[in-house]
Structure 1
């Protein structure tokens, strides 16, 4: 029997504010998505585990770790023998909490696309696309840096901001696909004179692409012949925006 595992799992569930029935429903959904019925967890079984410190199979441990957002170290802590002290799960975050990224997978992923040099360097004059780095980023992501001359998205995206670009998403979304400027897709584009970044519109015949600035920017609309004078590199998936010092 694993010492303290029931209490630890109960504490993890409580931190997420989940009922036993909600955990059961989430596990059923995961079992369907992953195509493995062994991932299903019943509310009654989980209640007994929490009260009686019952052992967990690998499948049950995996699905509970996924639902509770446990790190690999915390998962291993649940597997400690009786002679070892039980793992402490006080650092488990709730879905709505804000954390300083000092360690763990989120911090690792952040550093992959946001190296310190990109944050500390002075903003460039022109917007540019960083070389592909498939050793750290998935192959369908690229990074770009917004230049001082590209004021299309100010003040939402300022000069020196770093954008993460999904190059698999190049189709320009229509008006029905977004509700406000925060939902509206932002695109990274390449023209004959360089790179630009902003909202986009395409006419009904798909002959012209219009770069639309943020409504607080002093820039005006710019237009190019779609796919002839301008190319969509991809949709912006993430932004690190600098504050004005």
Structure 2
């Protein structure tokens, strides 16, 4: 694979009309700009990369991408490293703590629904896949027009039972960073009560919150949760990142190892 990638690099260089010495000179300038000689590529080493399958370092990959005006991800893909697969591969390890979800792919374009059934009604529960009439490729530079508000995304840790059973461990969260004010009242049920995403000095928390008269932030778990309430100085020891405004949660494949169904006979219906 390294030989194939090297051949592609050579063909790319030659198609641009660049010599080995040209690349060496350009890499010297890049190394000087960054104050790091790791970016420098001697012409002899570039020849080895192209013809002998020598693996370039991440610094030299950057240099080649810059000089050839080529996407860094494309060069990585030539070597069998598909950076857009990071999000998919990130589920191989269950992370116990709640954390920000940052392994989001950044391709040049995304597949999005561009035509939706006119009968789509947001008030009704329905299969969204059946409502999408056409998928299309949208260039990434046009993505900002789809953005509404300032949102971040987070993943509820596989061992975070703070809001259980309202929010299952492993839930994907959408957080509105524009809503940081803690509301102590105004909801009619637990489903309307705001849930906040909070960053402490040690971890991220997702919970109901209260602010006391002494400016202390109270992390209030769900009444059925085994987690105890916690109190932090606010904002010194705990910062409210925002309010949870959306969740993606699976209901059928989460199991807690130490939970056993009580052996109680079911009541007869008649």
TM-score for the superposition, normalised by structure 2: 0.44
| Greater Rg by CA | 2
TM-score for the superposition, normalised by structure 1: 0.48
